[in-house]
Amino acid sequence: MITKQKIDSRFQELFNEQAALVAKSPGRINLIGEHTDYNEGFVLPTAIDKAIYVGVSKRNDNRISLFAEDFNEAHEISIDELAPSEKGWPNYILGVVNQFAIRDLPISGFSLYLDGDVPLGAGLSSSAAVECAVGFALNELFELGLNRVELAKIGQLTEHTYVGVNCGIMDQFASIMSKSGHVLKLDCRSLEVEYVPLELGEHEIVLLNTNVKHSLADSAYNKRRASCEKGVALVKEKYPEVNSLRDVSVAQLDELVAKVDADVYTKCKFVIEENERLIKACDALKNGNIDELGKQLFAAHAAISSEYEVSCKELDFLVDFAKNFDGVVGARMMGGGFGGCTINIVKKTALEEYVKSIAIAYKNKFGFELTPIFIQVGNGTELI
């Protein structure tokens, strides 16, 4: 377990001084609404009780001195010679500093220690949690006066500029804006947030980590994004008021995209219908209709697998198993795809048996372990 005492002790060991402050920023789940965020649609995420922790202190020079516990690796660079690192992990920190520099915010050298218990590669957005924890900690340390929305945007721009992933805003927003006991219905166009109570009654959420990450993930993400942009461009030729798939109807796709590019049509139609599924799921949650919520999760998985084509055989196997297990009301793949987790809504009385049965079936089928992740929903980024 990661505690403030543990971070303080490691910080002292590494940098020979005390951390001025420690911040934590959580990983996230997304109940439903996948690949909608970069299309100005809706998402339904919330923070979980697994987080990235950052200890920081000011230095007397212009050096940035970093240490990542997960990699057992240090990195140092002058703030005046800021540049992406080939190591990869420092870029989630340096990219945030670069965004501060672009805004002419007064920041000098600092020491930073990074640790966390968000499982890497599980689709729980450990990278966004790093960006938000770093941004939040440095904002406090240097008294920069940025608000949470600005810090979320800085995290997103870090991905675009220093990491090379053209991501939407959902992960950073969920990490920094979440409220315990609620999901955020986030409008990715206006950034308007509605906090919807997450009351599942006799049900519980469990994540099942496939422990696979197929190499298709990053290239497929950029390809899907390009398909969405092409669909918008085709519709915009006739309807100039259209700016994103949020403005497009299936009837317009039928009219202007279907005959030009069948694949682009299918990908765009998925996004439009995923927004509709999210609205239905949200209404079901507000009405306490957990069976209907689960139904939308199953429908979302079927569509993301066959239409958007970012699932994989391991994820499909888990959702098929869930469909046929009494006590599971809904399941789907969660995240960018090609690996990571499924999110499952399960009756508490069936949870133990379900996790045991599905793990055995998965091991028999694929030859490796399935890791259950039991989560509680929690608050967004905070000082500890």
Whole domain around residue 40: which residue ranges? 4-198
The reply to whether 45 falls in a domain is yes
Q: How many domains does the chain have?
A: 1
320 is catalytic: no
Known binding residue 36? Answer is yes
Known binding residue 123? Answer is yes
Question: How far is residue 337's CA from residue 342's CA, in Å, rounded to a whole number?
Answer: 10
Q: Which residues of the chain have pLDDT under 50?
A: none
| CA-CA-CA-CA torsion sign (78, 79, 81, 84) | positive
Of 171, 187, 254, 263, which is the active-site residue?
171
Question: How far is residue 163's CA from residue 156's CA, in Å, rounded to a whole number?
Answer: 10
- Read off the CATH number of the domain in which 54 is found: 3.30.230.10
Known binding residue 37? Answer is yes
Tens of pLDDT along 72-118?
Answer: 999 999 999 999 999 999 999 999 999 999 999 999 999 999 999 98
Tens of pLDDT along 109-161?
Answer: 999 999 999 877 777 778 999 999 999 999 999 999 999 999 999 999 999 99
Question: How far is residue 7's CA from residue 1's CA, in Å, rounded to a whole number?
Answer: 11
Cα angle at 138 between 135 and 142, to 5 degrees?
140
Known binding residue 144? Answer is no
Known binding residue 126? Answer is yes
Known binding residue 160? Answer is no
Tens of pLDDT along 198-218?
Answer: 999 999 999 999 998 876 656
Residue type at 166 in one-letter notation:
N
Element (H, E) at 77: strand 73-78
| CA-CA-CA-CA torsion sign (347, 321, 30, 68) | positive
281-290: list long-range contacts, CB under 8 Å, 24+ apart: 281/31, 281/32, 281/44, 282/42, 282/44, 282/185, 282/196, 285/31, 285/183, 285/196, 285/197, 285/198, 285/199, 286/196, 288/199, 288/201, 290/200, 290/201, 290/203, 290/329, 290/345
The reply to whether 10 falls in a domain is yes
Known binding residue 122? Answer is yes
| Helix, strand or coil, per DSSP, at residue 55 | strand
Question: How far is residue 185's CA from residue 193's CA, in Å, rounded to a whole number?
Answer: 6
The reply to whether 172 falls in a domain is yes
Question: How far is residue 342's CA from residue 331's CA, in Å, rounded to a whole number?
Answer: 7
The reply to whether 62 falls in a domain is yes
- pLDDT at position 215 is 66
Known binding residue 175? Answer is no
The residue among 18, 247, 26, 56 whose CA lies nearest residue 139 is 56
The reply to whether 64 falls in a domain is yes
The reply to whether 94 falls in a domain is yes
The reply to whether 342 falls in a domain is no
The reply to whether 171 falls in a domain is yes
